[in-house]
A and B are shown apart, each in its own frame.
Chain A
Amino acid sequence: MSFVSWSTATVALGVLAITAMLFALQRLRVQRRRLGLAAAPLWSQAARAAPPRVLGGPFRRPLSFLLALVIALVLWLAASRPEPTAPPVGGVHLFYLDASALMTGGGAFARARTDLARQVAAVPPRARRVVLGDLSGTTLLEAGEDVALLPARLDGVRPGIYPSAFSRWMAQRDLATPATVHYFGHRAVFDAAARAHGDVRLVPGFLVDPVAVNRGIVELGVSPAASGAWDRADVLVTVTDSTARAPKADDLRLRLGDAAAVPARVEATGDGRFVLRDVPATGEVLEVALRHGDNFTVDDQATIRIPDRRPVRVAIGTGVPATIERALRLDPAFRIVAPAAAQVVVRVAGASGDRLPSLILTDPVAEPATFVVTSPADEGDVALADRMDALGLRGIDAAVLADDLGRTVALREGTPSAVRSVHAWRSLFDERTAFARSPALPLFVSQTLRWLAVPMPWIPYAKAGAPIVDQSALYGLAEDPGLRGQGLGDDVYLSEAGRMEIAGREVRVALADRETSRMAAARSTAASPTRDTPGVDLIDLLFPGLLLLAFALLALEWRLFQRGWMP
């Protein structure tokens, strides 16, 4: 069993106090004197004839009524907890509990939480606000809310693996209202904020000291292999060391998927940067860890998902012009396979293969549009201009093509279907057409088939506290429709390091924050700050004052009653 508002000891004390009070009241209860009178039946008859409580009749004892009224009104006022509407004297007290990665070690966060609850209770409710230092700055306790709510709200709060947002919160808060900010978090963050916001009254509530030494991974990114190998990627890893010791490649431990990874080459480019060359781009997770950890562990390891750049498996149906097959054989990003193992199909209209994404060659007589693009309905509306980029149609000279074909060249959206497909006139790919002889053909075939294969987006890095970056377009890939949909026109924000799922795609997020790793072991240069004890406003004494007044009046009433001056 637990008590939301008070501790077990407080509840037990309350039980004892209530017991004592009830005992006293029991002792003070009206003790009726027993009196023998033969005329008792007549008294009983008189009591029945003159009931003690009647609404009618003249109003008697106005002073007694006045006293009872004052007591009731005082209690009513006390219960309503009056507060002034004017801002509290001395400004508001903002309590900020930093829940960033810096607070993850050694039970520091639990201690900060305990100190926070204690210090918040000492500040009048209307003059305080408690904010959780997560990435969105969640309010834990609004001004005026009872402090009893705080422990329950703090119960589920844990520090997350993301950079501290305190500095950003300080910059964004309401600067018009004078405030005292009580910070519960890491000493380095406090020092940095104190330097940056000298005009703000910033006092420490609870500060975690930096660790002695920290070595951490502060950058982790992936790019296409500089070697030109299509199915390889280069990975950038940056390591910092607070002791200024230069990290070595041997300090890194690498795992790709379930197995230890041995890159073709590891280049140290200085300043703690390492480039892992030609890492297989198979869509697996690369884990980079430091062989020798330290007391700040959250930056000792980081993961990233390497994009999948394996060749697209293409099946070519019968009747497909040789120009297409020739282009595919020359492109290392494709591998021609049997239909059963294919990801995408190139076929003429009417041939089997409807269940796979297909490039379908149509008869110009049957299909008036030169190109018809069909995609599932859940991919949303996409501008035709974007379609042209994705399909490699931008490089086609439409005028030359129209002259060559003797018909108008047109692109249209087809009716949404279960899988993607692109229809193109078969005559486009005849050897004799200018299009077949132009560089636009392999570009169109390559881009179209890649778009049909729905490749994994190229995410160069995924960092906690930063938006996700999709560089697919940069590397000739179509933008992932899932990521685009999640963004809703804005960035997709990565809240915390670890595994995330966005639009059905698993994304590995790393802390990889240079500032966090630096602060974890930063030496404090500022003088030890002093704590601040908030003053008590007179208005805050109103509630206890009213209660005391009510009790005093009740005692007076009791005394008057005892002396027989009050009925």
Chain B
Amino acid sequence: MITRWMQRRSAAKAAQTSITDDAVAGDDWLDPAFLAGLERFSLRIAEAQKGGRLADQRTPARGQGADFADFRSYTAGDDLRTIDWNLYRRLGKLFVRVFEERQDLPVYLMIDVSRSMVVETPPRLHAARRVALGLAAVALRQHDAVTLLPFSDGVAVTQRAVSGKANIALVVQALSTLRPGGRTGLTAAIRRLGTMRIRRGLLVIVSDFFDEDGIEATVSALRGLRHRLLLVQMTKAHDGDPTLVPALVGDVTLHDGEVEAGVPLTITPTLTKSYLREWRAFNRHLTDFADGAAVGLLRIDGDGDVLEQMTSFFARGQLPW
């Protein structure tokens, strides 16, 4: 009897592993039409931190560029081509034109690869990867530096900063090799990122945000970051309407793939109502934070068309920077 029980347990584990592998390997996610659909969008922030390479993002740096910024008195060694001769004619003094120097924007893509992202069918990770690819494509096209930072229990750098749209292949390869595993350690990952000496830029977090520390702790950690933020919340329709899951009745053990034992529950209308309250409060936390801290918040339904949802987001001009 014990042998049979162990055999059944091994089979269950094997089944769980195969689901995870399918979640990564079975996705035909690289679609040229998807990338083409995003070509008309751009990621701009009001003012990137200076110190980067010349690119398209506005910075406080003054130097080469096409956008006039100011005049200053001529000093020896200035480029004679920048002298404003009209002013000299009117004022009799030499002034040179100063231009705004555009540099690249560091874009950090944090992708949640914890097991909760692959526990459902289809996995949320599929859509998350497409979102990350789309945003990376937009950033690369505008010569920004894209860094991939997948996280679960910890945070890792799988793709160091690349720029230029020719490097999209590198990003695709990096995204393809993501392996789900571990628990959602979003809060810890954010804190870890905050301690890293990296250039201030745009931090994109693609996650379900179901962190074991709670959404309050996650938001609190986010407040401590110096980066511009774009939160991409990976959702499912049944998150807000549990009746869409037929099996979610009676006695069930819910698991998010991260806690072995799961949560034994008897689904009752009262419990469902209570869950919906929790779900609304969860979303309200994120929304309030996004509204109050000029943070972009993109909610992606993992079962829906990612391109359509991203297009809609960009078209509405919901980026607050």
Contacts and interface: CB of A to CB of B under 8 A. Distances in A.
Interface string B241-280: 0000101111111111101001111101011011101110
B274 A46 contact: yes
A356 B55 CA distance: 144
B119 interface: yes
A478 to B, nearest CB: 88
Interface string B140-161: 0000000000000000000000
B239 interface: yes
B262 A40 contact: yes
Given A32-B264, A44-B263, A47-B274, A39 B252 contact: no
Q: How large is the interface on B (under 10, 10 to 19, 20 to 34, 35 or more residues)?
A: 35 or more
Of B210, B254, B268, the most chain A CB neighbours within 10 A belong to B254
Given A40-B262, A50-B270, 8 more contacts: A34-B252, A35-B245, A37-B119, A38-B256, A39-B239, A43-B271, A50-B273, A52-B271
A488 interface: no
15 contacts: A33-B250, A33-B253, A35-B254, A36-B256, A37-B255, A40-B262, A41-B256, A42-B278, A43-B271, A44-B263, A46-B274, A47-B274, A49-B278, A50-B271, A564-B250
The 9 A-B residue pairs with the shortest CB-CB distance, nearest first, are: A50-B274, A46-B275, A36-B119, A40-B256, A46-B274, A40-B254, A38-B116, A44-B263, A32-B253
B282 interface: yes
A520 B253 CA distance: 80
A62 interface: no
Given A35-B247, A36-B120, A564-B249, A43 B265 contact: yes
Contacts of A567: 268
A40 B254 CA distance: 6
B123 to A, nearest CB: 9
A30 interface: yes
B274 A32 contact: no
Contacts of A564: 249-250
B256 A35 contact: no
Contact of A37 (B120, B270, B277): B120
Contacts of A43: 254, 263, 265, 271, 275
B263 A32 contact: no
Of A31, A34, A41, the most chain B CB neighbours within 10 A belong to A41
A36 B255 CA distance: 5
Contacts of A34: 252-253, 255, 262
A49 B270 CA distance: 11
A45 interface: yes
A293 B252 CA distance: 85
Q: How large is the interface on A (under 10, 10 to 19, 20 to 34, 35 or more residues)?
A: 20 to 34
Contacts of A44: 254, 263, 265
Of B119, B277, B278, the most chain A CB neighbours within 10 A belong to B278
B251 A33 contact: yes
B82 to A, nearest CB: 57
Contact of A42 (B248, B259, B262, B279): B279
Contacts of A37: 119-120, 238, 245, 248, 254-256
B124 interface: yes
Contacts of A47: 263, 265, 271, 274
B252 A35 contact: yes
Given A33-B247, A33-B252, A39 B210 contact: yes
B286 to A, nearest CB: 13
Nearest to B269: A567
B117 interface: yes
Contact of B279 (A36, A39, A52): A39
B251 A32 contact: yes
Interface of A: 30-47, 49-50, 52, 564, 567
Contacts of B208: 38-39
Of B248, B249, B259, B265, the most chain A CB neighbours within 10 A belong to B265
A564 B248 CA distance: 13
Contacts of A46: 271, 274-275, 277-278
A215 to B, nearest CB: 73
Nearest to B236: A38
B21 interface: no
Of A31, A34, A42, the most chain B CB neighbours within 10 A belong to A42
Contact of A36 (B239, B249, B257, B273): B257
B117 A38 contact: yes
Of B124, B248, B250, the most chain A CB neighbours within 10 A belong to B250
Contacts of A52: 266, 268, 270-271
B210 A38 contact: yes
B212 interface: yes
Nearest to B114: A38
Nearest to A33: B252
A42 B212 CA distance: 10
Nearest to B117: A38
Of A34, A38, A49, A567, the most chain B CB neighbours within 10 A belong to A38
Nearest to A37: B254
Contacts of A36: 119-120, 254-257
Nearest to A44: B263
B119 A38 contact: yes
Contacts of A33: 247, 250-253
Nearest to B275: A46
Nearest to B257: A36
Contacts of B265: 43-44, 47
A39 B253 CA distance: 12
B249 to A, nearest CB: 7
Interface string B208-227: 10101000000000000000
Nearest to B211: A41
Interface in B168-200: none
A390 to B, nearest CB: 91
Interface string B109-120: 000000011011
B212 to A, nearest CB: 7
B44 to A, nearest CB: 32
Contacts of B279: 39, 42
Given A33-B251, A46-B278, A40 B120 contact: no
Contacts of B256: 36-41
B278 A45 contact: yes
A564 B238 CA distance: 22
B210 A42 contact: yes
B302 to A, nearest CB: 9
A40 B263 contact: yes
A39 B116 CA distance: 8
Interface string B60-93: 0000000000000000000000000000000000
Contacts of B212: 41
Contacts of B117: 38
B176 to A, nearest CB: 22
Contacts of B270: 50, 52
B236 A30 contact: no
Given A33-B251, A43-B254, A38 B120 contact: yes
A291 to B, nearest CB: 75
